[in-house]
Amino acid sequence: MQHPHLLHIFSPTKYVSPFDINMAYEARFDAVIPYCNVTLDEITALTQDTIFSRSPEGVRRTGIFIGGREFDLALAMLEAAKAAMVPPFTVSVMADPSGAITTAAAMVALVEHWAKKAGGGDLAGRRVCVFGGTGPVGVCTALLVSRAGARCAIVSHQGQGAAQVVADRLNRVHGVELDGVDGSSQQAIQRWLPEIEVLFGAARAGVQVVSTETLAAGWALKVVADANAVPPAGIAGVGVKDKGKALAVGEGGSAVALGALTIGDLKYKVHTALLQQMHNASSPVFLGYEEAFATARALVAKPRK
């Protein structure tokens, strides 16, 4: 085959995710080549081996995917790959560690859409919290909602101090304004939850972080999204298939619920769209969390046929 579409996956982990490999083939790459245990200081050499070994047409049909599990490391690898390019030898690069970026982009775009339907406004100025906010999906979610103008707090089951450490790092590196709050117990959560309008659940799968009793303290809640597809629900009462279903909250009120399969359906579409963009690009593209969010927003806004 002349000039095949090749995708090289660089991952700092022991294994490259089968999910990422499957998605790449679904996007019609002819070959997907995994690299494991890749370190940041190896990205330049690997990238230049990738770009200098093909003709101009072959370069156009070459992409690099950054995987792994760490959000900040994946972004650093993306920037290192970009810096290693030597025009006209430049290829497309996408970062999505553990699917965190495309999952967060999908969740925030859906919440933004339903927030408008539920209360007439987007996320700007709303008080938002992100459970599991110290993990890769939570970190990316917090960045996106902060960039969308929300007043966002990261929640950690290890307490306010652990959450604030992550918030401070993100504030310093990304120029956002995040706070850390205490998620170490249901009682701790109940103290600050009454102020929250939008709740994101991005905590570890199979762990319930908000009980029914605690949810009853969420008097101001308008939208609740839970990315956890493994029982029990991360947020009590949110079903995996929920898509705008009413969820009982404090003082007899209700919020809009968005479940894991609803989020996952859009995440799949975002992931596929970004890979196809790399596959079909006539000039190189570099895809991180901002590009993923723009794609998710466009897909949510697209009229159904």
Beta carbons of 110 and 300 less than 8 angstroms apart? yes
Question: Looking at residues 20-40, what average pLDDT do you find?
Answer: 97
Q: Do residue 111 and residue 74 come from a single domain?
A: no
Residue with tokens 């990205």: 43
Question: Quick one: pLDDT at residue 178?
Answer: 97
Other Cβ atoms closer than 10 A to 282: 6
Q: Is the pLDDT of residue 120 over 80?
A: no
Distance (Å, whole) CA 176 – CA 213: 32
Residue type at 123 in one-letter notation? L
pLDDT tens digits, one per residue of 94-108: 999 999 999 999 999
Q: Do residue 83 and residue 193 come from a single domain?
A: no
Distance (Å, whole) CA 78 – CA 73: 9
Question: Quick one: pLDDT at residue 252?
Answer: 83
Q: Do residue 110 and residue 222 come from a single domain?
A: yes
Q: Do residue 119 and residue 137 come from a single domain?
A: yes
Nearest to 222 by CA among 126, 107, 156: 126
- Secondary structure percentages of the chain, helix, strand, coil, to 5: 45, 20, 35
Q: Do residue 117 and residue 205 come from a single domain?
A: yes
Distance (Å, whole) CA 251 – CA 93: 49
Question: Looking at residues 133-155, what average pLDDT do you find?
Answer: 96
Q: Considering Cα of 221, then 135, then 32, then 49, what sign does the dihedral take? A: positive
Instruction: Give the chain's mean pLDDT.
Output: 95
- Partners of 201 in the β-ladder: 131, 226
Q: Do residue 117 and residue 250 come from a single domain?
A: yes
Q: Where are the beta strands (DSSP E) in 36-95?
A: 62-66, 92-95
Distance (Å, whole) CA 263 – CA 30: 28
Domain of 142, CATH number, reads: 3.40.50.720
Find all residues with CB under 8 Å of 240, minimum gap 6, and list them.
229, 233, 259, 260, 261, 262
Domain count, the chain: 2
Find all residues with CB under 8 Å of 176, minimum gap 6, and list them.
142, 143, 146, 147, 152, 170
How far is the CA of 61 from the CAs of 33, 83, 213, 284, in angstroms?
A: 14, 19, 54, 10
Q: Do residue 44 and residue 143 come from a single domain?
A: no
Does residue 145 belong to any structural domain of this protein?
yes
Question: Quick one: pLDDT at residue 239?
Answer: 97
Question: Quick one: pLDDT at residue 121?
Answer: 82
Question: Quick one: pLDDT at residue 119?
Answer: 73
Question: Looking at residues 116-144, what average pLDDT do you find?
Answer: 93
Which range of residues forms the domain containing residue 68? 6-99+268-301
Domain of 293, CATH number, reads: 3.40.50.10280
Nearest to 132 by CA among 206, 187, 67: 206
Question: Quick one: pLDDT at residue 305?
Answer: 57
pLDDT tens digits, one per residue of 63-83: 999 999 999 999 999 999 999
Bigger pLDDT: 302 vs 237? 237
Distance (Å, whole) CA 218 – CA 190: 8
What are the helix and strand counts (H, E) for the chain? Answer: 11, 12
What is the model's pTM?
0.95
Q: How confident is the model at residue 1 (pLDDT cuts 50, 70, 90)?
A: low
Output DSSP code: residue 12. S
pLDDT tens digits, one per residue of 221-234: 999 999 999 999 99
Question: Quick one: pLDDT at residue 161?
Answer: 97
Other Cβ atoms closer than 10 A to 235: 29
Other Cβ atoms closer than 10 A to 119: 14
Q: How confident is the model at residue 57 (pLDDT cuts 50, 70, 90)?
A: confident
Q: Do residue 91 and residue 113 come from a single domain?
A: no
How far is the CA of 257 from the CAs of 60, 110, 219, in angstroms?
A: 42, 11, 15
Strand, coil or helix: 127: strand
